[in-house]
């Protein structure tokens, strides 16, 4: 029975390694274009060799996550690029879409593919953000709310890099030009 468990575990690990190698080898490192893909987390992955897997069979999710999590001062941010096909990083909660339109479905409008947010005004405990989205013709931004995960707690002056998400609402623009 133990031999069957070891054999099944070895097969599973081998398949996982092959799949990870396939994914790693089939991405173009020279490509600077963003490709449309299903929503996936954007952190980098750690790659392990067969020798690593057999020498150290105890993997700690916390250890691997700590490698990809970086702390950054919220006030140091000058520009945020957010993408409709990406999700945020999260340490304490679940990842959310980087861009989420609260009412696009009401208008039958597609959601934005990307947003660029810059700080408009920095106060002691907060930042007022100016965000530009690639909205479809005939619509404009009605309101938006940018949130990021605080490093230690909500409202922290440091945030988890990659944790910012933008919720927004749109409104229809009249096609009539005023003279």
pLDDT of 174: 79
pLDDT of 103: 94
CB 69 within 8 A of CB 96: no
**With 50 as the cut, is the pLDDT of residue 28 above it?**
no
Q: Report pTM.
A: 0.60
Task: Please name which of 99, 104, 101 lies closest in space to residue 165, comparing C-alpha atoms.
Answer: 99
pLDDT digits (tens, 9 = 90+) for 133-153: 999 899 999 999 999 999 998
**Whole-angstrom distance, CA of residue 142 vs CA of residue 44:** 34
Work out the percent of the chain whose per-residue pLDDT is above 70: 59
Task: Please name which of 94, 95, 98 lies closest in space to residue 85, comparing C-alpha atoms.
Answer: 98
The full set of domain ranges for the chain reads 2-68, 71-172
**With 50 as the cut, is the pLDDT of residue 26 above it?**
no
Both structure tokens of 161:
């890099």
CB 83 within 8 A of CB 98: yes
Average pLDDT over residues 23-38: 41
């Amino acid at each position: 029975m133990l031999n069957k468990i070891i054999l099944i575990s070895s097969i599973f690990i081998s398949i996982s390694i092959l799949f990870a190698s396939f994914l790693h080898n089939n991405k173009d490192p020279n490509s600077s274009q963003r490709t449309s893909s299903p929503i996936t987390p954007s952190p980098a992955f750690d790659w392990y060799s067969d020798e690593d897997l057999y020498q150290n069979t105890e993997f700690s999710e916390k250890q691997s996550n700590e490698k990809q999590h970086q702390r950054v001062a919220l006030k140091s941010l000058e520009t945020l690029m957010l993408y409709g096909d990406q999700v945020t990083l999260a340490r304490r909660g679940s990842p959310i879409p980087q861009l989420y339109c609260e009412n696009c479905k009401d208008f039958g409008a597609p959601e934005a593919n990307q947003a660029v947010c810059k700080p408009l005004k920095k106060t002691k405990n907060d930042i007022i953000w100016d965000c530009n989205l690639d909205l479809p013709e005939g619509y404009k931004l009605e309101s938006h709310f940018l949130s990021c995960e605080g490093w230690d707690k909500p409202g922290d002056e440091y945030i988890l890099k990659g944790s910012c998400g933008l919720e927004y609402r749109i409104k229809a623009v009249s096609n009539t030009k005023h003279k």
